[in-house]
């Protein structure tokens, strides 16, 4: 019975997350994966495809993440994958509905749900995909140029690191293929380092990056 407890608790949390959405918002997207995962990946917020399917990281950015996981030899099913903000942030205009960055108010609203999620999964390592997730969990300003590769104490004793959000890499690919190739290799290396830490390795020495995405 004990083996079922994290899954049941996460399912109950997901039900509360879905009930917390405001009228008119897209349906919230809960985390998914192994309820006892040693490694948790935390992104910013769902996008269009994620809102449609009700699953995190299943759009173009998710496919890029899956490729990086495969290169790193990490099975997605062994991870817990989630976002800070559980509802797709959008702007509406005569051009239609578009993604936008979440507001500080939205991050504050959803952060307690993420913190509870972390407490239930109890990962050894948390890799934040993008600075927004790392800012939320560390409570301070984060830049990829300074903080990428610098593992530190996170929630519930987990080692916490930050790397590129795959959506940033997609934007980078369109304007600078060489920088995209470098950043993709760095994302893959960061995933491999996070996986090793989750399996019991000590965090690596600090690393730096030439890129400084938001």
Residue with more model confidence, 180 or 24: 180
Looking at every residue in the chain, the average pLDDT score rounds to 90
Decide if pLDDT at 214 tops 60.
no
pLDDT > 70? residue 125: yes
Phi/psi at 81 (5° precision): -120, 130
Alpha-carbon radius of gyration of the chain: 16
Domain boundaries, the chain: 2-198
Mean pLDDT for 94-103 is: 79
Confidence of residue 4 (pLDDT cuts 50, 70, 90): low
**pLDDT over 90 percentage in the chain:** 79
Per-residue pLDDT averaged across 49-56, rounded?
95
What does pTM read for this prediction?
A: 0.91
Separation between Cα atoms, residue 52 and residue 137, nearest integer Å: 27
Q: Mind listing the pLDDT tens digit for each residue in 104-121?
A: 999 999 999 999 999 999
CA distance readout (Å), 74 to 58, 66, 113: 17, 9, 26
Per the model's pLDDT, the better-predicted residue between 2 and 102 turns out to be 102
- Looking at the structure, give the CATH architecture of the domain made up of residues 2-198: 3-Layer(aba) Sandwich (3.40)
**pLDDT, position 157:** 84
How do strand 159-163 and strand 125-129 relate by DSSP bridges? parallel
Q: What is the pLDDT of residue 205?
A: 58
Asked if pLDDT for residue 2 goes beyond 80, the answer is: no
Cα–Cα dist 88/84, whole Å:
11
CB 33 within 8 A of CB 120: no
Q: Which residues lie below 8 Å from residue 93, measured CB to CB, with a gap of 6+?
A: none
For the chain, give the number of residues.
Answer: 214
The pair of three-digit structure tokens given for residue 203, joined into one six-digit string? 């965090």
């Amino acid at each position: 019975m004990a083996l079922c407890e994290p899954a049941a608790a996460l399912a109950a949390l997901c039900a509360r997350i879905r009930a917390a959405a405001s009228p008119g918002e897209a349906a919230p997207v809960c985390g998914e994966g192994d309820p006892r995962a040693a490694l948790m990946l935390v992104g910013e917020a769902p996008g269009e495809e994620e809102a449609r399917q009700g699953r995190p990281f299943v759009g173009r950015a998710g496919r890029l993440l899956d490729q990086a996981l495969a290169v790193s030899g990490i099975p997605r099913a062994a991870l817990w994958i989630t976002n800070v903000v559980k509802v797709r942030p959008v702007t509406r205009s005569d051009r239609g509905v578009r993604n936008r960055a979440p507001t500080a108010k939205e991050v504050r609203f959803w952060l307690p749900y993420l913190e509870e999620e972390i407490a239930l999964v109890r990962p050894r390592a948390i890799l934040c995909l993008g600075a927004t997730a790392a800012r939320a969990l560390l409570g301070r300003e984060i830049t990829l140029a300074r903080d990428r590769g610098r593992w530190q104490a996170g929630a519930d004793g987990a080692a916490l690191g930050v790397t590129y959000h795959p959506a940033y890499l997609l934007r980078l690919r369109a304007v600078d293929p060489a920088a995209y190739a470098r950043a993709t290799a760095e994302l893959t290396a960061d995933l491999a380092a996070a996986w090793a830490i989750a399996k019991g390795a000590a965090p690596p020495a600090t690393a730096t990056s030439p890129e400084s995405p938001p």
